[in-house]
A and B are shown apart, each in its own frame.
Chain A
Amino acid sequence: MIIGSQKPIDEIWSMVKDFKKVLVFACNTCVAICHAGGEKEAETIATLLRMRAGQEGKSMEVNFASVVRHCEPEYFEPVMEELQKYDLILSTACGVGVNFLSDRTGKIPVYPGINTSFYGAVESPGNFVELCAGCGNCILHLTGGICPIARCSKTLMNGPCGGTNKGKCEISPDVDCAWYLIVERMKKLGNLEKLAEIQPPRNWSTSRDGGPRRVSLEHIRAYEEQEELKSETAGGKK
């Protein structure tokens, strides 16, 4: 899932302080699980902003609302009319949600209430860890299920650099060396010899380097078009 973390309240205040009617708009999927931008967090931010407005003598109305997901239009379509009553939407969804909503709110700006951090998992309660970089060309079958793109500080493809120290990365003794983990895992799988194969320079065009990415499923689109056509024809018969 997508992991985010709340922006400092001072930074949020500096973004919102000149608006009169602010809606803190939460997403109850990924960012709720990582305690960054779910309804509970949106309520807290709204309360803090109201208090701050009071302290600074600003007249500001701050409310909060939430929907299940910010990345599919059907989820926030029911509240679109309500959103029109505000002059700023402070979204606590991930960056995808902010972009997606911003395209649909006309003159009302949508600002980010959280920093979108990475794709990760819940390692233990309150600990979230990055495990995938979304590079668009998965090689986890070659590396024992441990991603060197997401987990090696240098995205190395052919083994560890000289910076591995007691199994940790040269950037910090708190960071595991991904290649140390890969080697240990491949040993356990009896596959260490497979790492001898040289991985050639990657084609990064499937990653962010290729520009904004899009996945189009022809069969789904064709099905949707057919359904649309069917309902149109049915309507025509009436």
Chain B
Amino acid sequence: MKSGSNLERVILSGKPAVTAELGPPMSADGHEVTKKANILKGFCDAANITDCQTAVVRISSIAAAVLAHREGLEPVMQMTCRDRNRIGIQADLLGAAALGLKNCLCLAGDHQKFSAAGRLKGHPGAKNVYDVDTCQLVGILKKMRDEGKQEGGDPLEVAPKFFIGASWTPMGDPIDFRPMNLLKKVNAGADFIQTQGIYDIELFRSQMDKIRNMGLHERTAILGGIIVPKSAMMLKYMDSSVAGVSVPKALIDRMNKAKEAAGDDKKKARELQEAEGIKLTVELIHQVLETPGIRGVHIQAIEWETAIEGIVKDAGLYPRPIFETE
């Protein structure tokens, strides 16, 4: 075992892995983290603790990951290349390992101009770092873990043992390059991959055909990304505006139908769409897991953590496997 994390154990067991996501709050409210951790606990093998996603200041991923860990939820800490240089990154990785964290997802990070897609002020005038990129960051984690060396070459008496993750946008532009993008992350040392949200299953499967031809599915554990849709509007927005996400018209039509069935009753329209969203999510989970080469799912119920329990149960993925830790 590389890290001994629960996620690594589930993946090694050959059972489909389930990861979820926990977004820390935009304040010093640690209770928000522990509350969400208790909602997710038992329904996923590990949960991503986002690192200032959408370029908005929140409780740091490491701090929130430690809070979640104390509640019994295994965290996947995130490390973006946006905010720290290789000195800050490695110092934080050593600290995170010392605090007991075992999974780390490497990301480029949303650009500082993003500011929650303009809904918040954010810090668009901030200076970004990008001393290293995701591929290089994955390599740094691997070098620290497997060679016991810092990026600069200095030895680490105690190496941080992370299960190393990276993201992959299988259907992003330029689409012919995306398999090579994954190849580079795997060559750099990514043990597991979480993909961008998948709605267009046909297109996803055609990309996975290429991945299997390259043998990448055997060298890394690919978890297919599922973003739980809440409304027809959300699906339309993701289709038009979220990079690397395309939503087939049939899915948008289904959500629209659910909405229209409620007539003018707005509360009912919301409830019907949420129910349809969960149904749709469960179908997507099955389709993704049936795709050869896929080893699990990464389910994102953005600011809707309470949906995870029902989804995981409906998908037949409950209970989650439990392993004796040494």
Contacts and interface: CB of A to CB of B under 8 A. Distances in A.
A201 B243 contact: no
A170 B243 contact: yes
Interface stretch (B24-32, B106-114, B305-313): B106-114
A61 B71 CA distance: 73
B108 to A, nearest CB: 4
Contacts, number: 110
Interface of A: 153-167, 169-172, 177, 179-180, 183-184, 187, 192, 195-196, 198-202, 204
A201 B174 contact: no
Given A160-B174, A196-B184, A170 B110 contact: yes
28 contacts: A153-B113, A154-B82, A154-B108, A154-B109, A155-B130, A156-B130, A158-B134, A158-B135, A159-B135, A159-B180, A162-B108, A162-B244, A163-B111, A164-B243, A165-B172, A165-B241, A165-B244, A171-B111, A179-B174, A183-B174, A196-B183, A198-B135, A198-B136, A199-B135, A199-B136, A201-B136, A202-B131, A204-B131
Nearest to A158: B135
A154 B110 CA distance: 9
A198 B187 contact: yes
B214 to A, nearest CB: 10
B139 interface: yes
A51 to B, nearest CB: 33
A160 B177 contact: yes
B130 A162 contact: no
B78 interface: no
Q: Is the interface of A mostly helix, strand, loop or mixed?
A: loop
B86 A158 contact: no
Interface in B155-191: 167-169, 172-174, 176-177, 180-181, 183-184, 187-188
Contacts of B196: 162
A198 B181 contact: no
Contacts of B22: none
B216 interface: no
Nearest to B136: A201
B208 interface: no
Contact of A154 (B86, B111, B139, B184): B111
A200 B138 CA distance: 11
A7 B151 CA distance: 43
Query: A154, A169, A179, A192 — which one has the most chain B CB atoms within 10 A of its CB?
Result: A154
A201 B131 contact: yes
A184 to B, nearest CB: 7
Given A155-B130, A180-B173, A187-B176, A161 B108 contact: yes
B179 to A, nearest CB: 10
Given A154-B81, A161-B108, A163-B110, A195 B177 contact: yes
Most buried by B among A162, A167, A169, A170: A162
Given A171-B113, A201-B86, 13 more contacts: A153-B113, A155-B130, A157-B133, A159-B180, A162-B169, A162-B243, A163-B243, A166-B173, A170-B111, A179-B174, A192-B177, A198-B187, A202-B132
A170 to B, nearest CB: 6
Contacts of B108: 154, 156, 161-163
A165 B243 contact: yes
B132 A154 contact: no
A201 B173 contact: no
Contact of A201 (B113, B128, B151, B169): B151
A218 B295 CA distance: 60
Nearest to A148: B133
A106 B118 CA distance: 48
B44 interface: no
Contacts of A196: 180, 183-184
B318 to A, nearest CB: 30
